[in-house]
Chains A and B, each alone.
Chain A
Amino acid sequence: MKNKYYDQIDETIYTEVLENGLKVCILPKTEMAKTFAIFTTNYGSIDQSFVPIDQKDLITVPDGIAHFLEHKLFEKEDRDVFQDFSKLGASANAFTSFTKTAYLFSATSRVKENLGILVDFVQDPYFSEQSVEKEKGIIAQEIKMYDDQPDWRAFFGTIKSMYKEHPVQIDIAGTVDSIEKITKEDLYTCYHTFYHPNNMILFIAGNVEPEEIMQQIKDNQTQKSFKEPEPITRKFPDEQEEVAEQELRITMPVQVPKALVGLKEKEIPTDPKIFMEKEWLMDIIMDYLFSKSGIVYEKLYEEGLIDQSFSYESHLERNFGFSIIGGNSHKPERLAQVVKEELLNIKNQKMDDITFERIKRKKHGQLLRALNSLEFVANQYTHYQMLGIDFFDSIEWLEALTYQDLDKFIQKWIDEKRISICFVGAK
């Protein structure tokens, strides 16, 4: 077991990669009452075409299967695993994103028992035809609930307008029709391919003793047998550089229309440090323009184009990346126009170095604030590990960024053909 102390934030992380490939990370925080553990596979809604473990040919599985699998792992032949956690006073949950599926619990007592349950239930699937059929009804309800949420529809609409082929444009939960096609066999195929320990990270943060926990996980894993780890072949369609459609309109009953502007990324750096720097720089520029202290935010607010719902977010992953900016507006066309113009104008809009340093300070403070949350630390650390990045090291990379780095980045970042707009409005 290795340990690494991070002076700036006064935290230590203990890590070990076990024989079967599983990476275990432990962050002890003994002042906390709580312990949070998250067991994540590098497998999400976009991983639809792949070569199953021990096979040669590429297959494509129905939309929404990663999320379906997440639901089904909780169900065993004789019980629902949620209850196992409940019996020990813990609360468990799970989520599926574009690139990850994660299972988690938090507890203030009986941590080792809960941890055993977490690892065991994820590593012991039980799927039956009957239970797969029953789940379809529950997930269909979930999909319908999302369909009623204008913000969700607008978010996915924007992604759809940006991406033509890449599966990021498919709803994470799939559709009522696509999940109908899912079979027990599909679930096992996906499970055995993507839930191999070599494709997973277990992160434990909170009131724990690292040596003891690491030993527990090792003992647990040596009792189980897995196939030899092998790299997973995943296939993604070629995606064009420009957006799929420059404008997408969604009609649904909303009181106030919405406009979201999407910006699609072109080059995703493969070098971890350059990747992380790109992410920081995108974040700093977005903050400069669209945060509450941003110059464009002020303009939009003064002009009465936005309200409190206005927001922006950026996502950068190994093979896709985008930013989405917008919100409710009584003048959605005008809002979209101004946001787009300002994005295109960024090359000429000089941010001075005082501003740059101020925003860097803000990012530093935001990070310290986020470190209050065990969930945040565990999620982020895992996320970046899967991208080959040490999240805590990235704080130093942020501090080392210069105004010149920013200037260089800005010159190449934005291109009109990679911008799209999604409107949501009533009939």
Chain B
Amino acid sequence: MEKRIKKQGYDLHLLPTKKFKTINLSFKFVTNLTRDKVTKRALLPYLLQQGTKNYPTAIQLRQKLDELYGAVLHIDSSKKGEHNILTVRLELANQRYIKNQENLLEEALTLLEEIVYQPKVVDEAFDPKLVEREKQTLKNKMIALTEDKMSFANTRLIEEMCEQEPYQLRVHGYEEDLDGITPRILYDYYQQMLQEDRLDVFVVGDMDGLDVEPILEKFLKRKQQVEMKKTSINVVNKEEATLIEYDQIQQAKLHLGYRTNITYDDNDYATLHVFNGLFGGFPNSKLFLNVREKHSLAYYAASRIESHKGLLFVFSGIAPDQYEKAREIILEQMEQMRKGDFSDDQIAETKEMTINQLRETLDNPQGMIELTYQRVLAQSNKTITELIEQVQSVTRDQIVKVANQVQLDKIYLLTSEGAKPDEK
């Protein structure tokens, strides 16, 4: 089970387990999501992988990682609710499965410290050539994201739906903001981030006989830790609206955005999980059965909850000429949820699947970290075991109550240009 230790300037979360043949290390820096920071934080992960003081080129750094039995470095920027998180992650073979490698973990931590605290610097700024090139890399990423139509439709839905809220920000940043980010500005911001963000450090794996804590203490000291602040949920009440956009695609994407106003720490959170499972979370859900199977309308039709801001999204891929019908059937499924039109058996099955899913997440090192971090962000004491217990005791009345609380906010359709009404 988790051991949470307050260290100088950061919280250390030790998650010992014999499930894995690796040790996973994760540094999570978090701040609130703002337009001013989001593009810089999107660019930083690329830059930090371009070299350090002692391994000044990307290839030297990569080869050093290879030497450490192919340690995998992963740095990214993400959003959870209205938090902007920069994660630096290292996954390393556990030295107990390798002959004569007693110092592998220590070597890896030494390198990790260097990657975070001693990146390659020229005149107290990031290397200008690298900054220019990585800006291009990020631009390419932005373009690629618009090509994944499912992800693009989801991004557009959120932008429209949360127009007035920070959550609408694109976590990969904005092309037009890149020009203003000089190597110096970026480096200064990075220093500020290292000092002022909240930091949580996670270690997962079989730590028997490995002195994780003392090794970590040797490398990591910060002035102060920042306590989490509750970010308020900013519901902008408006009339539900539909937006249609066109693209050169064969399969249309119909996405719906709802407000649940239920987040991780809320009492209704377990109920929301079961509600979503019945509505569109699993292959036995209403959306799957009725949109996909019964009417052969869609290749996929599903729903997903957002746990930190209190949203719910419906996704479907449909033939362009089936839009009206698909929309009607999706809305009808929600009506049925509100009326309690589901059986006790279905509730029981869905609970079991929800619990199965939560337990499975804990069989993956990354999943263990993410579920633990969810609690940190939500400032909640609710453990996964407690959440599982709560799921078990969810009642029909609670589900119906949650269904009636969920509000439709926006309908978004991305469809083929051929489906455009004649404008002449």
Contacts and interface: CB of A to CB of B under 8 A. Distances in A.
A90 B71 contact: no
A33 B357 CA distance: 10
Interface in A280-311: 291-295, 297-298, 301, 304, 307-309
Contacts of B133: 304
Given A86-B349, A145-B317, A366-B70, A137 B18 contact: no
B21 interface: yes
B17 interface: yes
Given A256-B143, A364-B70, A372-B365, A141 B283 contact: no
Contacts of A379: none
Given A91-B353, A108-B356, A368 B250 contact: no
Interface in B106-140: 133, 136-137, 140
A358 B63 contact: yes
Contacts of A255: 143-144, 146-147
Interface residues of A, number: 64
A91 B20 contact: no
B97 A10 contact: yes
Nearest to B282: A86
Contacts of A256: 140, 143-144
Given A88-B352, A108-B359, A148-B251, A293 B63 contact: yes
Contacts of B67: 358, 361
B17 A254 contact: no
A91 B143 CA distance: 34
Contacts of A363: 70
Interface in A244-300: 253-256, 291-295, 297-298
Contact of A91 (B21, B91, B351, B357): B357
Interface string B355-395: 11101101111000000000000000000000000000000
Contact of A31 (B18, B70, B71): B18
A33 B363 contact: yes
B65 interface: yes
B363 A147 contact: no
A301 B363 contact: no
Contacts of A1: none
A33 B359 contact: yes
Contacts of A254: 147
Contacts of A316: none
B345 interface: yes
B319 A141 contact: yes
Interface in A320-349: 328
Given A33-B360, A365-B69, A145 B251 contact: yes
A46 interface: no
B93 A368 contact: yes
B163 to A, nearest CB: 25
A404 to B, nearest CB: 21
Given A32-B363, A253-B248, A308-B140, A89 B355 contact: yes
A86 B21 contact: no
B93 A369 contact: yes
B79 to A, nearest CB: 19
Interface stretch (B174-182, B225-233, B291-299): B291-299
B93 A108 contact: no
Contact of A80 (B70, B293, B296): B293
A262 B159 CA distance: 40
A364 B63 CA distance: 15
A292 B70 contact: no
A368 B21 contact: yes
Interface string A350-379: 000000001101111110110111100000
A90 B345 CA distance: 15
B282 A91 contact: yes
Given A86-B284, A141-B299, A109 B356 contact: yes
A147 B143 contact: no
Interface in A128-176: 134, 137-138, 141-142, 144-145, 147-148, 150
Contacts of A32: 19, 363
Given A361-B69, A372-B365, A137 B251 contact: no
Interface in B275-326: 282-284, 292-293, 296, 298-299, 317, 319
A53 interface: no
A368 B94 contact: yes
B331 interface: no
Contacts of B20: 372
B212 interface: no
Contacts of A31: 17-19
A147 B249 CA distance: 9
A106 interface: yes
Contacts of A291: 62
A178 B156 CA distance: 36
B59 interface: yes
Interface in B4-62: 17-22, 57-59, 62
A82 interface: yes
Contacts of B147: 150, 254-255
Contacts of A374: 363
B149 interface: yes
A29 B352 CA distance: 22
Contacts of A253: 248
B339 to A, nearest CB: 22
B66 interface: yes
A137 B357 CA distance: 30
A9 interface: yes
Contacts of A328: 140, 144
Interface in B78-95: 91-94
Contacts of A86: 282-284, 349, 353
Contacts of A308: 137, 140-141, 144
B1 interface: no
B97 A9 contact: yes
A83 B284 contact: yes
B244 interface: no
B115 to A, nearest CB: 14
30 contacts: A9-B21, A33-B359, A33-B362, A34-B359, A86-B284, A86-B353, A91-B357, A109-B355, A141-B319, A142-B299, A145-B251, A255-B143, A295-B59, A297-B59, A304-B136, A307-B144, A308-B141, A363-B70, A364-B93, A364-B98, A365-B68, A365-B93, A366-B70, A368-B93, A368-B98, A369-B72, A369-B93, A372-B20, A372-B21, A372-B365
Given A10-B97, A148-B251, 18 more contacts: A8-B97, A9-B97, A31-B19, A34-B363, A89-B355, A109-B352, A109-B355, A147-B250, A291-B62, A293-B63, A298-B57, A304-B133, A304-B136, A307-B136, A308-B144, A328-B144, A359-B66, A372-B20
Interface of B: 17-22, 57-59, 62-63, 65-72, 91-94, 97-98, 133, 136-137, 140-141, 143-144, 146-147, 149, 248-251, 282-284, 292-293, 296, 298-299, 317, 319, 345, 349, 351-353, 355-357, 359-360, 362-365
9 tightest Cβ-Cβ pairs between the two chains A and B: A89-B352, A365-B69, A293-B62, A365-B70, A362-B70, A86-B284, A307-B140, A253-B248, A141-B299
